[in-house]
Structure 1
Amino acid sequence: MTSPHILLPGQRVSLAMPNRDHLPDYHRWENDPGTILGFGTQVTQSWEVRAGGWEGQRANRDYPQFEVITTDDHTPVGLATLQIDGAVRTAEFVILLAPEARGKGLATEATALTLRWAFEYAALRMVWLKVLEPNSSGIAAYQKAGFQPAGRLRQSGYWLGRPCDELLMDTVADDYLVTSETA
């Protein structure tokens, strides 16, 4: 295995360039029942579709994706993505953690590192996300990383087969830069 190309080092996790050799891991994480529940997608994705989409994602400048790796041994534990709208310099944030990495506080640090990249390197003005209201652990991680409540989409998602609200959360560069300078 080659050494990862680390973009932003952190305390417990770092952001690195995604690695095609880890595509089977990404596919497994995306098809985990907990992931499907958390994203509200209700469907699995075939290997052929996932593998076929790899090159298109790598070539899209408005879709930077980061592999989340453990800082100590470089084990891949997740993916973080920004879907950039270049016309207005904003992005939607999405994170995916391996089932075995959840519940350890890694999402908070990976989210904070991704926000650092978004505001300091990509010069974005605002980053937002959607999270299903019953996903209390996700909401807590996002708030710890700097996101604030911004609204709700009523009954736009599903949790355990029932409609639920999606919460909108956001953070702007000014809030992030003030927070990171005082931290």
Structure 2
Amino acid sequence: MWIGTDTCALGPYRADLVETYWRWEQDPTLLVGYGRQTPESLEARTEGMAHQLRGENLRFTIYDRASGEPVPVGVATLLPDYAVRTAEYVVMLAPETRGRGLGTQATRLALDYAFHITNLRMVWLKVLAPNKAGIRAYQKAGFRAAGKLRDAGYWLGKTCDEIIMDAVAGEFAGPSVVTPLLPS
């Protein structure tokens, strides 16, 4: 684990978990939430994994630590633009672990990493407007609504707005799990 709390941690993105990641990505509720309607083959996902492991994006496996033994439950990704010190954020949780606060915890940890290790100044995301649970989780983690893209997404076969949310380093309210680890 790279950083974490007693109940949630972020660790390395792992090639040996490609089939697990693929299974989560094929969940119909995730396909609806991302606005992507096309499932992907395991072969295509495996091919893409090699590219992702070599890329500049910051990908983390999310671990549930509530039972003591870390169990992989999702993926958090920061897609940085180092020229302007910002990143887009994407998170995915296994269907069986949703609704337990792990998405909020993982998002806070990813922001902590982004602001205190990668030294980004802002992280942003897009979420489909009907995804009220996702919006609440992002707000709890420190994101604020910044605008919307009208009719830019699809939710259950109908067009919908995409809400743009952002979090900035200067407003990131602790507690930080990174800063206590750093020399003063």
Counterpart of 1:13 (choices 8, 18, 35) is 8
For 1:21 and 1:55, how far apart are their aligned partners in 2? 11
2:120 maps to: 124
Q: 1:65-84 to 2 correspondence within 5 Å?
A: 65-71=59-65, 72-84=68-80
For 1:11 and 1:59, how far apart are their aligned partners in 2? 30
Q: 1:18-167 to 2 correspondence within 5 Å?
A: 18-61=13-56, 63-71=57-65, 72-167=68-163
Offset at residue 11 of structure 1 (A): 2.7
TM-score by structure 1 length? 0.93
- Deviating 4+ runs (over 3 angstroms): none
**Equivalenced residues, count:** 175
Q: Deviations over 1:29-60 (max 9, x none)?
A: 11110100000001101111110011111111
**SS of the counterpart of 1:42?**
coil
2:174 maps to: 180
Flag structure 2 segments of 5+ consecutive residues without an equivalent. 177-184
Aligned residue type for 2:161: D
Offset at residue 108 of structure 1 (A): 0.4
For 1:94 and 1:37, how far apart are their aligned partners in 2? 14
For 2:160 and 2:69, how far apart are their aligned partners in 1? 39
TM-score by structure 2 length? 0.92
Aligned residue type for 2:4: P
Flag structure 1 segments of 5+ consecutive residues without an equivalent. 1-5
Q: Deviations over 1:98-133 (max 9, x none)?
A: 000111111000000000000000000100000000
